[in-house]
Amino acid sequence: MTKDMTNGSPMKLILGFSVPLLFGFLFQQFYNLVDTLIVGRFLGVDALAAVGATGSINFLIIGFCMGVCNGFAIPLAHRFGAGDYKAMRAFMMNAVYLAVVFAAVMTVLTVVYCKPILKLMRTPDNIIDDAYIYIVIIFAGIPATYLYNLISGIIRSMGDSKTPVVFLTIASVLNIVLDLVLIISFDMGVAGAALATVVSQAVSGVGCLIYSMKKFEILHTDEDERKINTFYMKTLCGMGVPMGLQYSITAIGSVILQSAVNTLGSDAVAAMTAGSKIGMFFCCPYDALGSTMATYGGQNVGAKKMDRIKEGLKDCSILGIGYSLIAFVVLYFAGGSLAAFFIESAETSIIEDAQLFLIINSAFYIALAFVNIVRFLIQGMGYSKFAILAGVFEMVARTIVGFVFVPVFGYPAACFASPVAWIFADMFLFPAYFHVFKKTKRMLNVE
C-alpha cells in the first residue's frame, strides 16, 4: 500500500498520488459547502454571515494544526525515501507525543480567548453570538483535527494517498447526514453545523488510526522506537512549527481583511462567504498538487535524486496551469449560478457580489497554483522555515488591501486581496526554490 516516488515517470506518479488526494479534498470541501448551503437556506443570511465571519480565525487556528501535522510528516518521508524504517517509526512516535501536547494546549487557549478575538475583529453585533457558538465548538474539536491530520500525514509520507481519502469520504457522508439531522430536525442552528463537522472529523481520525494500526506492518513499533527522543522532537518541531506558523501568518492577513470586510455589513460578509466556499471547492486541485509535491520532494531528497525534483516541478506546473485556465472559464460563466445555491434568489446584490469575487480570484489562479506547488515542494525538501517567509508576504499583501484599499474602494478591493497575496508570495518563492535547490545539491554532494 506504500508507494516509492523515487523511481518511475514523475508525471504518472504525481497524477497517481494527487488524484486520490483531490477526491479527498473535494469531499472535504463538499461537506463544507453543504454546511454553508444548509445554513444559508434554512437559517438565513445572518447565520451564513456568522459562519463566514469565523472563516479567517478558523483558518488561523485550524490551519496551524494542519501545518504542524504536515511538517511532522516530512522527516518520515525523508526516512522512508532513504529506506531507514526504524528511524521513521521513531519519528512517528515522537510526532504523536508532540501532537497530544499541542492539541491540549491549543484547545484550552482558543476556547478561552475565542469571544475576545471575535470582538477585536469587529464582528457585527447582529451575528457575533452565532459566530461565537459556531467557532467555539470547532475549537473544542481541535484534538480531532490533530488526530486525522497526523495519521493521514504519516500514511501519505509512505506514498499512500488513498487510505486517508476513504475515511474522509465516510466523514463527508456522515457530516451531511448530521447537518440535516442537527440543523433541520433538532433545530440546533449554527451549533449543529459545527458539531457535525467535529464529530465527522473525529470519526475519520479514529477510523484512519485503527486501519493503519492493523494494515501497515511497517508502522509497528518496538520498545526502543517508542522512547521519547529529544533530538527527534527538535527535528519535528523544526519542520512542523514553521509550517504551522506559515498557515497562521497567512491567516493573520485574512483576519485583518475579514475585519475590514466586517465593517461593510453582513451582506458583504455573506457574499464573500458564499464566494469563498465556492472558490475553496475549485481550489482543491492546488491543495492536492501541493501535498503531492511535499511527499514527492521529501522522498526524492531522502533518495538523493535531485534531477527528479526538477522534472516533478515541471510536470506539476503543467498540470496546475492547465487546470487554472479551465477553472477561470467555468467560474466566469457559472459563478453567479453557483452562488445562487447558497443565497435566496431575491438577494440579487449579494449573488452579484459573490460572482464578482469568483471572477477576480479565478483570473489569478495560475499564481495560486505556483504558491502551492513551489511552497510545498520547498517544505518537502526540508526547508519549512521558508514557508513562514512566504506566509509573511501573503500577510503583508492582505493587510495592505484591508487597511488601505477596502476603506476607500469597498467590497471590490476586498476581492483583489487574495490575488495580490498570491503574487507577493510567488515573488518570494521562485528565488527561494532556486536557492534551496542549489543548497540541497551541495549538502547531498550530488551533481
Q: Is-contact 340 275, C-beta < 8 A?
A: no
C-alpha 226/C-alpha 243 separation (Å) is 25
- Please name the amino acid found at residue 112: V
Q: What are phi and psi of 211, to 5 degrees?
A: -65, -45
C-alpha 438/C-alpha 442 separation (Å) is 6
pLDDT in the model for residue 1: 58
Instruction: Give one DSSP letter per residue of 341-396, joined into a string.
Output: TTS-TT-HHHHHHHHHHHHHHHTTHHHHHHHHHHHHHHHHTT-THHHHHHHHHHHH
Average pLDDT, the chain: 90
pLDDT in the model for residue 316: 96
Confidence of residue 150 (pLDDT cuts 50, 70, 90): very high
pLDDT tens, position by position, 354-369: 999 999 999 999 999 9
**Mean pLDDT value of segment 404-416:** 92
**Mean pLDDT value of segment 28-44:** 76
Percent over 70 (pLDDT), the chain: 98
**Mean pLDDT value of segment 71-76:** 93
Q: Which of 372, 270, 225 is nearest to 55 (CA)?
A: 270
Residue 119 class from Cβ within 10 Å (0-12 exposed, 13-18 middle, 19+ buried)? exposed
Residues 6+ apart with CB under 8 A from 179: 31, 34, 35, 38, 192, 193, 196
Please count the other Cβ atoms lying within 10 Å of the Cβ belonging to residue 190: 26
Please determine, for residue 425, whether its predicted confidence score (pLDDT) is greater than 90: yes
**Mean pLDDT value of segment 391-419:** 91
The grid coordinates of residue 56 equal 479567517
**Mean pLDDT value of segment 18-29:** 82
Percent over 90 (pLDDT), the chain: 56
Q: Is-contact 309 300, C-beta < 8 A?
A: yes
pLDDT tens, position by position, 97-124: 999 999 999 999 999 999 998 998 888 8
pLDDT in the model for residue 422: 95
Indicate the SS3 state at residue 4: coil
C-alpha 67/C-alpha 302 separation (Å) is 21
Percentages (nearest 5) of helix, strand, coil residues in the chain: 85, 0, 15
Integer Rg of the chain from CA: 21
pLDDT in the model for residue 179: 86
Please determine, for residue 433, whether its predicted confidence score (pLDDT) is greater than 80: yes
pLDDT in the model for residue 417: 92
pLDDT in the model for residue 345: 65
Confidence of residue 441 (pLDDT cuts 50, 70, 90): very high
Please determine, for residue 346, whether its predicted confidence score (pLDDT) is greater than 60: no
Please determine, for residue 269, whether its predicted confidence score (pLDDT) is greater than 90: no
pLDDT in the model for residue 171: 85
Residues 6+ apart with CB under 8 A from 379: 70, 71, 74, 239, 243, 294, 297, 386, 387
Please determine, for residue 320, whether its predicted confidence score (pLDDT) is greater than 90: yes
Confidence of residue 436 (pLDDT cuts 50, 70, 90): very high
* C-alpha count within 13 angstroms, C-beta hemisphere, residue 132: 19
Confidence of residue 80 (pLDDT cuts 50, 70, 90): very high
Of the spans 177-181, 240-244, 335-339, 418-422, which averages the highest pLDDT? 418-422
Give the least confident one: 15-29, 177-191, 249-263. Answer: 249-263
DSSP state, residue 416: T
Q: What are phi and psi of 38, to 5 degrees?
A: -65, -45
Give the least confident one: 26-30, 180-184, 393-397. Answer: 26-30
Confidence of residue 25 (pLDDT cuts 50, 70, 90): confident
Determine the distance from the C-alpha atom of residue 39 to the mean position of all C-alpha atoms in its chain, rounded to a whole number: 22
Please count the other Cβ atoms lying within 10 Å of the Cβ belonging to residue 160: 21
Q: What is the pTM of this model?
A: 0.78
- Between 118 and 252, the more confident residue is 118
* C-alpha count within 13 angstroms, C-beta hemisphere, residue 37: 15
pLDDT in the model for residue 120: 86
Give the least confident one: 192-206, 238-252, 284-298, 412-426. Answer: 238-252
State how far the alpha carbon of 42 is from the alpha carbons of 38, 180, 278, 342, in Å: 6, 10, 19, 10
Q: Is-contact 172 197, C-beta < 8 A?
A: no
Residues 6+ apart with CB under 8 A from 34: 175, 176, 179
pLDDT in the model for residue 292: 93
Q: Is-contact 156 3, C-beta < 8 A?
A: no
